[in-house]
Amino acid sequence: MLLEGNRIRDQIKAECLPRVTKFVDIHGRPPGLAVVLVGQNPASEVYVRNKTKTAGELGIYNETITPPATSTTDELLALVHELNAREDIDGILIQLPLPGHVDSQRILLAVDPAKDVDGFHPYNAGLLATGREGLKPCTPAGIIEMLRRYMIPMSGANAVVIGRSDIVGKPMALLLLSENATVTITHSRTKDLPGICRTADILVAAIGRPAMVTADYIKPGAVVIDVGINRVDGKLVGDVHAGDVAKLASAWSPVPGGVGPLTIAMLMQNTIQAAEAAAAARAASSC
């Protein structure tokens, strides 16, 4: 079975629309998203266009702020503080990568955790790690939505995550754990990586190596989620060998068209969630 991200994306977007309408009816303005794109990076510009297009389709107010590539860390910190203070901006997204001379960690840490719609801030990572409600990283959260909506059982399943990044690998493991899966995190230095992967009922590949996951890694009947986006000879390919996964897996996500569409859909959901939470906090403080 092919796990089609576009189908799930459309479902999530359809669920977002009435929430935006309700928010506008109550608060007289739509949820607001600010995207900070520093300098000119063709790949980043494409991602940002897709994000702003989706926001527009849902009626979410969005701004793309484009400081020059020469911007200093202090200048970008001042911009982030300004966005933190704006009541019409509920979500702030810092498009990575930032120029090499900028202290990316300082910029990301400066974002108000309540507006951190990427879910990368240590505060939100802590909420996730301790099982509390908060803004979750978009790609792993989208994968959980995909598994739920295709009715793939996670509770009691053996899940293996290849990759330990703060953006995908670690939060993916925590989200699967919260669904009562038994989770193993693996990486480039794991001994007998293929053998461990073959124990997985659910295998999530997020290691950034094109077609690295071959038949040796896949248990027959496993569900395989391919997070990789690699360009090889002008084509997009995943971390999983497409021919091998089609032969062995009971369900798998393709590249492109699998996980990718879900990331932007979950960003929109996070923006609406942030707006609703901020409005509730303001109402509570005024009582």
Please give the model's pTM, rounded to 2 decimal places.
0.93
Across the chain, what does the average pLDDT equal? Answer: 94
Lowest mean pLDDT across 44-58, 127-141, 247-261 = 44-58
DSSP string, 52-121: HHHHHHHT-EEEEE---TT--HHHHHHHHHHHHH-TT--EEEEPSPPPTTS-HHHHHHHS-GGGBTT--S
Residues with active-site annotation:
51, 95, 118
Whether the predicted pLDDT of 99 surpasses 70: yes
Among 207, 252, 210, residue whose Cα is nearest residue 231: 210
pLDDT digits (tens, 9 = 90+) for 224-279: 999 998 888 878 889 999 999 999 999 999 998 999 999 999 999 999 999 999 99
* 28-112, CATH topology level: Rossmann fold (3.40.50)
- Region(s) of the chain under CATH 3.40.50.720: 138-260
Class for domain 138-260, per CATH?
Answer: alpha beta
Q: 203 and 213 in contact (C-beta within 8 Å)?
A: yes
Which segments of the chain belong to CATH 3.40.50.10860? Answer: 28-112
